[in-house]
């Protein structure tokens, strides 16, 4: 019964930006639950490298080179998936970028690029797969949100605007599509050890100190921590979970204070 709840046999899962980091961890766990995995990237080299890594774990991944912001490329890639394997059952809008630049210094073109990739692309992807999900009366869409969906932080205005927008896009997709038995949810990772956070994670970096003193779980999250939440949201276990953002953050959003002895305020 428990196995049945999380069984993804026969499902087609498309994870954008699944060549490394959180996307790869999600793809691996969905593959282990039985799904056919498709990942994309904009670099042939990264696609070839990730194929090797998936194969090492016995996962037969289908890789595609396309840019999630390009409607024509997205349409072509998804048509190819449909011809080869069938309609996409699970879409994970994981691809994303961040630019840490203070507002006054940030060129508008940089701001727009973050919005295009982190907010508009999930819409492009979802618009392309949703009609077939609606026809089948079944589908799961997972939008990779962030703590920045609900918080601001100096230097990440574009990212926070996009991820805040993505949280509400998740709500609006739910309002329009949940009646067709689609579940559209978000995941809000806390601070996770991937290439996106490599620069601010170094020992001695003030941001590393901030994360370690403010996260009740007292560690950086691992991509696998996020992947397990994705398995729940991709499976039957979440069939009445709609429009929710599941934070996987070691408790940081629950905490306004410090968690280490040195900075305790009593
Ligand atoms: P990552 O290691 O930088 O991976 C992001 C992926 O997105 C990469 O595979 C990247 O491809 C791909 N990508 C970027 N632009 C693309 C485009 N235009 N078309 C197709 N693919 C594109 O980041 P991550 O930490 O695993 O993050 C994954 C998601 O979680 C992102 O949406 C991120 O914002 C979100 N998130 C991360 C954290 C964290 O602490 N790490 C926390 C909250 C939310 P390339 O490798 O070729 O650039
Ligand atoms: C930052 C971080 C983030 C995280 C994540 C938090 O500079 O504050 O990179 O924004 O990656 O999205 O949930």
Q: Which atom of ligand 1 is nearest to the CA of 147?
A: 43
Show me where the domains of the chain are located: 2-194+221-254
C-alpha count within 13 angstroms, C-beta hemisphere, residue 216: 10
Told to judge if 180 belongs to the known catalytic residues of this protein, a careful annotator would answer no
Question: Is the Cβ–Cβ distance between 38 and 54 less than 8 Å?
Answer: no
Of 265 and 170, more confident: 170
How close is the Cα of 195 to the center of ligand 2, in Å?
11
pLDDT at 265 over 70: no
Confidence of residue 3 (pLDDT cuts 50, 70, 90): confident
So what's the pLDDT on residue 11?
98
Q: Ligand nearest 100 Cα, by number? A: 2
In the block, residue with structure tokens 């069938």: 86
Instruction: Tell whether ligand 2 has an atom less than 6 A from the beta carbon of residue 149.
Output: no
Superfamily of domain 2-194+221-254: NAD(P)-binding Rossmann-like Domain (3.40.50.720)
Question: Is the Cβ–Cβ distance between 118 and 169 less than 8 Å?
Answer: no
Instruction: Tell whether ligand 1 has an atom less than 6 A from the beta carbon of residue 243.
Output: no
Taking only the tens place, the pLDDT of each residue in 238-263 is 999 999 999 999 999 999 888 876 66
Listed in sequence order, the DSSP H helices in 33-156 are 44-56, 71-84, 108-115, 121-136
The residue to mutate among 29, 66, 96, 199, having the most atoms of ligand 1 within 8 angstroms of its beta carbon, is 96
C-alpha count within 13 angstroms, C-beta hemisphere, residue 134: 12
The verdict on pTM exceeding 0.75 is yes
């Amino acid at each position: 019964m428990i196995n049945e709840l999380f069984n993804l046999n026969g499902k087609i899962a498309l994870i954008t930006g699944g060549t490394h980091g959180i996307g790869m961890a999600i793809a691996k766990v969905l593959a282990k639950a039985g799904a056919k995995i498709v990942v994309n990237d904009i670099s042939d080299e990264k696609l070839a490298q990730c194929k090797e890594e998936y194969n090492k774990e016995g996962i037969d991944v289908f890789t595609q080179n396309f840019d999630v912001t390009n409607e024509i490329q997205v349409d072509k890639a998804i048509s190819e998936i449909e011809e080869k394997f069938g309609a996409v059952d699970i879409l994970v809008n994981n691809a994303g970028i961040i630019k840490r630049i203070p507002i006054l210094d940030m060129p508008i073109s940089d701001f727009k690029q973050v919005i295009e990739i982190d907010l508009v692309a999930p819409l492009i992807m979802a618009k392309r797969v949703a009609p077939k999900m609606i026809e089948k009366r079944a589908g799961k869409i997972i939008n990779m949100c962030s703590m920045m969906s609900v918080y601001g932080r100096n230097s990440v205005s574009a990212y926070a605007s996009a991820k805040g927008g993505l949280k509400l896009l998740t709500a609006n997709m739910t309002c329009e599509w949940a009646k067709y038995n689609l579940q559209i949810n978000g995941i809000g990772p806390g601070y996770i050890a991937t290439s996106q956070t490599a620069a601010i994670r170094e020992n001695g970096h003030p941001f590393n100190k901030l994360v370690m003193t403010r996260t009740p779980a007292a560690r950086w999250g691992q991509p696998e921590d996020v992947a397990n939440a994705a398995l729940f949201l991709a499976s039957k276990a979440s069939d009445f979970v709609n429009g929710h953002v599941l934070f996987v953050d070691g408790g940081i959003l629950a905490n306004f204070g410090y968690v280490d002895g040195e900075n305790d305020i009593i």
